[in-house]
Structure 1
Amino acid sequence: MSYLVSTLGHTDEITICDAGLPIAEESQRIDLALTHGVPSFLQTVQVILSESQIEGVVMAQEFAEVSPELHAALLDELKNEEARFGKSIAISYVSHEEFKARTHYSRAVVRTGECTPYANVIFQAGVVF
């Protein structure tokens, strides 16, 4: 994970996903899942946000509809990030099928132990200046 974050360039994308998201064979997989719920999606997001600058986020529309509490918690984290750095983060939504296809372009897919449906996000790297 440290290597991945340290090598991100502007607009590179990384996916943070739940335990069930299919990961393409050709994608770099970083599997953090130890057991059900460990580490959680939100814990992993918090670490990535603390170690990198994010300018854009892509989520599946189904995330907000099916898992509204975790979706709201992610939005809160993003608002905190915006306040911390004084930069806005673009948020976009696509269908779950489009989301899965887009993960193929991520530099890596980071699998968590999260078992909440649709708890997946693609982060687009920003710049620190």
Structure 2
Amino acid sequence: MLIGISKLISPELLKILMEMGHSDEIVIADGNFPGASHAQRLVRADGHNIPELLDAILQLFPLDQYVEKPAALMGVVPGDTAETPIWAEYGAIIEARTGLKEPFEEVERFAFYERAKKAYAVIATGESALYANLILKKGVIQ
């Protein structure tokens, strides 16, 4: 363990976050996401929920300040009546950590899957909320 690094950040995840460069993307995936079949690098975070993990990551990881929307959400499939209250939680965490009030773009489900395949890594969590998948674009360390 290290001082100042959340116990939610595993050694493997810390290594991945350090390896990533400016504009690389990382997916924080819910429990339904096909992470193993989509990831170039898969990090297991089973048993963890995304909001707590997102907060821990944003203590170490700047979002890209050179793009309008440095975070992406998987959009709800047309006709699906699923609610997405977790998105507001993400927004509050990102605003508290970065000051960004509108950091999200919504990406259609299959376009999200294709983008995830190109991401630097996918973090597979135990998050049970529907449409909880999130992509973060890394910024510059100053």
Bin of the TM-score, shorter chain as denominator length: 0.7 to 0.9
Q: 3-state DSSP class of the match of 2:31?
A: coil
> Where has structure 1 moved over 6 Å in runs of 4 or more?
none
After TM superposition, the score normalised by the length of structure 2 is 0.77
Q: 3-state DSSP class of the match of 2:127?
A: coil
Distance 1:114 1:42 in 2: 9
Q: 3-state DSSP class of the match of 1:72?
A: helix
For residue 43 of structure 1, what is the amino acid of its counterpart?
Answer: E
After TM superposition, the score normalised by the length of structure 1 is 0.84
- Deviation for aligned residue 1:114: 0.7
Is this contact kept in 1: 2:28–2:124, CA < 8 A?
A: yes
Gaps of 5+ in 2: 1-12, 65-69
Q: What corresponds to 1:102 in structure 2?
A: 115
Is this contact kept in 2: 1:27–1:108, CA < 8 A?
A: yes
Distance 2:38 2:86 in 1: 28
Greater length-normalized contact order (CA 8 Å, ≥ 6 residues apart): 1
Q: Which has the higher helix share?
A: 1
Q: What corresponds to 1:59 in structure 2?
A: 73
Q: Which has the higher strand share?
A: 1
Counterpart among 52, 55, 60 of residue 46 in structure 1: 55
Q: 3-state DSSP class of the match of 2:23?
A: coil
Alpha-carbon distance change, 122 to 67 in structure 1, aligned in 2, over 3 angstroms: same
Is this contact kept in 1: 2:27–2:133, CA < 8 A?
A: yes
- Deviation for aligned residue 1:92: 1.1
Gaps of 5+ in 1: none
What is the aligned-residue identity percentage? 21
For residue 115 of structure 1, what is the amino acid of its counterpart?
Answer: S
Q: What corresponds to 1:125 in structure 2?
A: 138
Q: How many residues align structurally?
A: 121
Q: 3-state DSSP class of the match of 1:114?
A: coil
The aligned runs of 1:15-54 (5 Å cut-off) are 15-23=27-35, 24=37, 27-33=40-46, 38-54=47-63
The alignment yields a C-alpha RMSD, in angstroms, of 2.0
